[in-house]
Amino acid sequence: MKCKICFVCAMVIIFLTAPSHGAESRTFPVGALFPMTGPQAYYGRVMSRGARVAIDQINDAGGVEGYKLKLKITDFQNVDAMLAITGLQKMILTNKIPFLLTSFSAITLAVQPICASADIMMINGGAYSPKLANKPYLHTIRLSQDQMIPPMLRYLWEMNVRRLGLIYLADPSGEVPVENLVKPIWTKMGGTIAAAESHQSGLTDYTPHLERIKAGQPDAIYCLSPGQDQAFIVRQAREMGLDVPMSIVDWNDDFQAIAGKTSENLYIPGDYFDTRRSDPVTQEFVRDYEKKWKESPDFYAANYYDAVYHILAELIRRVVRAGGNPLDGEALEKAIGQDPSFNTVYGGRMKLNQDGSSDKPMVIFKIIDGKKKVDKQVTPE
């Protein structure tokens, strides 16, 4: 009898101490900070959809190294940093996230110290402020303004623009590139800043700012404003007779609906994601995205798909194969050092640079009949 009791006790101990293979212990929580509602909701929609396609593909294939990925999103609405911080803290306490998808410069800069302190690896596929560089645990896979602004300014100079009007968001995504890049580069080239106007996010009336810019008689306008802000700026500029070339941050069908026919003569520097590439990696993503969401992916969707499918999944593999714990953000971060290049839907390999930036193809688009058309392929700085 005593031997039987000992055997039973031993089996209970083995059962209780054995690694659990239940759903909870094999779930990999992927945190995300996106604007899902409010005037910037377009970005949250396409960013989250890109990530969801990647997660569905990974999970449908059985997961990665035994882990199923689960997306946890905090909606920071109209770029509300406090909402983002509160949501991040909840994800840390409740979901114990080791990895975070982040977006928007002000939000990313607000949460980066928290993530670095908590060993949470971050990938940003949407924000572009130069201040995002050289931040521990933060990797940006979108071209930053310090990569895009110099070639855009050279392009304007080649168009015989000499007097440049500026309108930009009053936060790091606008102020830093204007003061540290646009103004010094343009004046060094021999150009003049005709007027410079900063504004708050989420406005719908920009006529006071634009009237002051118009008074400066610019040859072109460089707009460093996010989301729908730039669509209202474009429409109102045209309505008051400012028909000069305008460079803007990005463009999509939501913004086109606001601007309508006033969107002509717009130029957009940016990441070049070509949905028509014959690369099977690209085509698999485009096919699954269009099937799931009934729309074509833009470069934001592509960036967050890459962040999950090609970067996170590969880092999980590296950590597990080295005998480590992929739920440890520090282990994920260190695994980048094995090889900083990763597959990408842009074609070939994408390198994560030591300063937190990445190497991406760049073009300058022009709006023609309401559609973005490649005008010139350029080399980012």
Residue 16: is its pLDDT beyond 50? no
Question: What is the pLDDT, as a whole number, of residue 171?
Answer: 86
* Neighbour count for residue 120 (Cβ, 10 Å): 26
- Are residue 227 and residue 367 in the same domain, yes or no? yes
**Residues 155 and 251 placed together within one structural domain of the fold:** yes
124 backbone dihedrals φ, ψ, rounded to 5°: -110, 125
pTM for this structure?
0.86
Is 351 inside any structural domain? yes
Same domain, 373 and 249: yes
The answer to whether the CB of 220 falls within 8 A of the CB of 244 is yes
Strands 371-378, 341-343: pairing kind: unpaired
Instruction: Judge whether 231 and 207 are in contact, CB under 8 Å.
Output: no
Which H or E run includes 71? Answer: strand 68-75
Domain count, the chain: 2
Tens-place pLDDT, residues 49-95: 999 999 999 999 999 999 999 999 999 998 899 999 999 999 999 99
Average pLDDT on 291-297 reads 97
3-state secondary structure of 222: strand
192 lies in the same domain as 169: yes
Does one domain contain both 268 and 283? no
**Range with lowest mean pLDDT among 9-13, 45-49, 91-95, 257-261:** 9-13
Among 303, 310, 315, 362, which residue's Cα sits nearest to residue 137? 315
Q: Which residues of 11-50 are buried (b: 16+ CB within 10 A; e: fewer)?
A: eeeeeeeeeeeeeeeeebbbbbbbbbebbbbbbbbbbbbb
Structure tokens at 340: 């900083």
Q: Do residue 351 and residue 211 come from a single domain?
A: no
Structural domain harbouring 261: 150-272+363-378
Contacts 24+ apart (CB under 8 A), 331-339: 332/98, 332/99, 332/121, 333/119, 333/121, 333/137, 336/139
Q: Tell me, what's the pLDDT at 320?
A: 97
The answer to whether the beta carbons of residues 104 and 226 sit under 8 Å apart is yes
Whether 184 and 41 share a structural domain: no
Q: Is the pLDDT of residue 6 over 70?
A: no
Check whether 22 has a pLDDT greater than 90.
Answer: no
Mean pLDDT, the chain, integer: 92
- Whether residue 254 is contained in a domain is answered as yes
In a domain, 6, yes or no: no
The pLDDT value given to residue 72: 97
The phi, psi pair for 205, rounded to 5°, reads -120, 110
The pLDDT value given to residue 253: 87
